[in-house]
């Protein structure tokens, strides 16, 4: 029961952060699918509305979100971002290989 209560509290806290439009950073696209879902929820948009904007069936959105958009193409991800009226910016950093860092 205590575990269930803690999980529920975490979910409520997470939902409240979304409503405040506070999103976690993603690293090398890990968590990108979760971000897409969070963006939809933060805007109060239903799966049905997103499907309508994308011109697909609602079941496709449900499937995509259940799989956290795993395997989605870059083109499809861009269409989802556009349908959500989201502009995403990235920061690229080239890290030194471990052996070069040790020599420096």
Give bridge partners of residue 27 from the DSSP assignment: 30
Torsion of CA 82, 52, 47, 85, to 10 degrees: 20
Dihedrals phi, psi of 18, to nearest 5 degrees: -60, -45
Q: How many CA atoms lie within 13 A of 31 on its CB side?
A: 9
The separation between CA 77 and the C-alpha centre of its own chain, rounded to angstroms, equals 10
pLDDT digits (tens, 9 = 90+) for 72-91: 999 999 999 999 999 988 88
CA dist 42 and 77 (Å) reads: 17
3-state class of 30 per DSSP?
A: strand
Q: Where are the domains of the chain?
A: 2-87
Class of residue 58 by CB neighbours under 10 A (exposed 0-12, middle 13-18, buried 19+): middle
- Predicted TM-score (pTM) of the model is 0.76
Alpha helices in 20-97 (DSSP H): 32-42, 47-54, 58-66, 74-83
Give mean pLDDT, residues 93-98: 84
Give mean pLDDT, residues 40-68: 96
Quote the pLDDT of residue 100: 59
Residue 15 above 80 pLDDT?
no
Quote the pLDDT of residue 102: 58
Domain 2-87 indexed as CATH 1.10.260.40:
yes
């Amino acid at each position: 029961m205590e575990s269930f209560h803690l999980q529920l509290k975490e979910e409520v806290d997470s939902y409240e952060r979304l409503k405040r439009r506070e999103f976690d950073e993603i690293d090398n696209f890990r968590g990108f699918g979760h971000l897409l879902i969070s963006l939809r929820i933060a805007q109060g948009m239903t799966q049905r509305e997103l499907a309508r904007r994308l011109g697909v069936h609602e079941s496709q959105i449900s499937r995509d979100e259940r799989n956290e958009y795993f395997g989605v193409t870059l083109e499809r991800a861009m269409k989802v971002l556009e349908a959500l009226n989201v502009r995403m910016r990235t920061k690229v950093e080239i890290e030194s290989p471990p052996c070069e860092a040790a020599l420096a």
